[in-house]
Amino acid sequence: MEAFLNKILSDAKKQTAVETQLLEDKSEVLDAMYETIESDNEILAQVKDLMCNVRADVKEIQPLKDSMDKIKTELNNLKKEIKKLEEKTESPNLCPTCRKPILPEFKICPYCGEHVKLLQERTIDIKEYR
């Protein structure tokens, strides 16, 4: 009987050692998982901070973008106006009545007979406009 009890106790000690080793292995895995979760939390906090910074930067940049868009629109309008003025000044030697090209030294349009004195006054007005 004593041998039987010693055998049961020995088997129990072996089982306890195996169970202890198994628990230690599982606790190592749980510790690794906990460390991973902690590092992931730190990384997520850093990402959250970065996102807040990016949002703040975007809010600062948005008015600049709006201003740039407004400036682009104004520049396009100015380009159109300059183009119109250039078109008008490229051939200032047009008869004011028939709009046909004439030489600057003409005082009377050879096509319609209009006095070209008005044309010279217009040219002066455009130059004063600049």
**pLDDT tens figures, 38-67:** 999 999 999 999 999 999 988 888 888 899
Residue spans per domain, the chain: 91-130
Looking from the CA of 126 toward its CB, the CA atoms found within 13 Å total 17
The DSSP code sequence of 87-122 is: HHHHS--B-TTT--B--TT-SB-TTT--BTHHHHHH
Confidence of residue 122 (pLDDT cuts 50, 70, 90): very low
Please answer whether residues 112 and 95 qualify as being in contact, where contact means their C-beta atoms are separated by less than 8 angstroms: yes
Which one is predicted more confidently, 24 or 92?
Answer: 24
- Write the burial class of residue 114 (CB in 10 Å: 0-12 exposed, 13-18 middle, 19+ buried): middle
CA–CA separation, 46 and 54 (whole Å): 12
Please answer whether residues 93 and 74 qualify as being in contact, where contact means their C-beta atoms are separated by less than 8 angstroms: no
**pLDDT tens figures, 56-107:** 988 888 888 899 999 999 999 999 998 888 776 655 678 888 888 888 888 8
- Whether this model's pTM surpasses 0.75: no
Measure CA of the first residue to CA of the last residue in the chain; give whole Å. 124
Helix (H) or strand (E) run with residue 59 in it: helix 2-90
CA–CA separation, 55 and 3 (whole Å): 77
